[in-house]
Structures are given as C-alpha cells and as structure tokens.
Amino acid sequence: MKHKFFILILPFLIVACDRGNREENVAGRWYTPSQLEHGRVVFKNNCAGCHGENAQGTFRWNKKLADGSYPPPPLNGSAHTWHHPKRLLKRTIDNGGIPVGGKMPAFKDKLTEQDKEAVIAFFQSYWPDEIYAEWLNRGGLK
Ligand code: HEC
C-alpha cells in the first residue's frame, strides 16, 4: 500500500525538485559566472517585482489589459524575448515601454552599463541551450 502511494506522488516530487534547482546555463554563453551573480541581484531589486522572481512573467501575460497595454511577459526563453538581439534588449531596458504605450519604466539612469549587461545575463541563464543557439543564429550578439 505504502509502495503504491510513493509511485503516485513521485512525478510531483520530481517536478518540485526540478523547480527548486534549475540549471543555470553559463557554459558557451557570452557572460561569465560573476556577471550572472551580479545580474541576480540587479534582477531581484529592479525586475522581479513585475517579471517574476524566476523571470517567468505574469499569469496571462499575453492578454491585453483594459488600457490596451500588456502585463509583464516572461523573460525566461518561453515567450518572444529571445527573438530580440542583445542591443535591442538593452534598448528596452534603457527606455522601458512607456514611449510605445507600454508600462515598463526606463532604467537608463537607474542602472550602470554593467548592471544592464548582467541583468540580461541573468534572464538569459534561464534560456535552454536550443533557444540560446537559435538566438545566436539569428544574430543575437550582432
Ligand atoms: C513596472 C513593471 C516592470 C518592471 C519593474 C520591469 N518591467 Fe520589463 N516589462 C514590463 C512590461 C509591462 C513589459 C511589456 C512592454 C510594456 O508594457 O512596457 C516589459 C517588457 C520587457 C522586455 C521586452 C520583452 C520582450 O519579449 O520583448 C524586457 C527585455 C524587459 N521587460 C526587461 C526588464 C528588465 C531587465 C527589468 C529590470 C531592470 C524590467 N524589465 C523591469 C514591466 C516591467
């Protein structure tokens, strides 16, 4: 009897562990482990409140709000953030979304160049290797 119970809960245990210890992708990436560590702090202090602690975005992030804007999207490689090259990601961080009818604040004067690089590294560390490779292929670093 006990045995059966364990088999039943096993998949849930595996999912729970997987969430807790996500793999952070650094090997073969443009950033260093110390940039990633720095980015973790920048993200937590400036971005996590909207984009979620794990850059997972909000519930129904792709459904327009009553005012015509969108909720914060995931930055973890599951949405379209990876379609943008690094310089465009940086521009979004600099200018935010307000100039184009969105809600994201501008970080141009709030973060240093190093902070911006590091925060990009942090959310990119969630991108699976296939997504990162495709991003590079499309000129992500150009
Ligand atoms: C007040 C909430 C808020 C904060 C804080 C915030 N964002 Fe955003 N972000 C948004 C919203 C909402 C969007 C969608 C565009 C818009 O409405 O401006 C967005 C869009 C983005 C995009 C474009 C995503 C895509 O798929 O094209 C990037 C990249 C991004 N944010 C990164 C960041 C980073 C990095 C930080 C922290 C330095 C941050 N955001 C802080 C709300 C926020």
> Mind listing the pLDDT tens digit for each residue in 81-91?
999 999 999 99
> How far, in Å, CA of 30 to CA of 35, rounded?
10
Mean pLDDT of all residues in 36-47: 98
Query: Under the phi-then-psi rule, with left for phi > 0, alpha for psi from -120 to 50, and beta for the rest, what region is 28?
Result: left
Q: Does 42 score more than 90 pLDDT?
A: yes
For residues 46 and 13, which has the higher predicted lDDT (pLDDT)?
Answer: 46
Q: Does 19 score more than 50 pLDDT?
A: no
> How far, in Å, CA of 116 to CA of 46, rounded?
11
> How far, in Å, CA of 81 to CA of 2, rounded?
45
- Residue 86: what pLDDT? 98
Give, using CA atoms, the residue closest to atom 41 of ligand 1: 47
- pLDDT tens readout for residues 87-116: 999 999 999 999 999 999 999 999 999 999
Best residue among 36, 41, 47, 53 to mutate for probing ligand 1, ranked by most atoms within 8 Å of CB: 47
Residue 138 — very low, low, confident or very high, per pLDDT cuts 50/70/90? very high
Residue whose entry in the numeric block shows the structure tokens 């809600």: 103
Residue 18 — very low, low, confident or very high, per pLDDT cuts 50/70/90? very low
Give, using CA atoms, the residue closest to atom 11 of ligand 1: 72
- Evaluate whether 42 touches 118 at the Cβ level (below 8 Å): yes
**How far away, in angstroms, is 51 Cα from ligand 1 center?**
7
Q: Does 68 score more than 80 pLDDT?
A: yes
Give, using CA atoms, the residue closest to atom 22 of ligand 1: 92
Q: Does 70 score more than 90 pLDDT?
A: yes
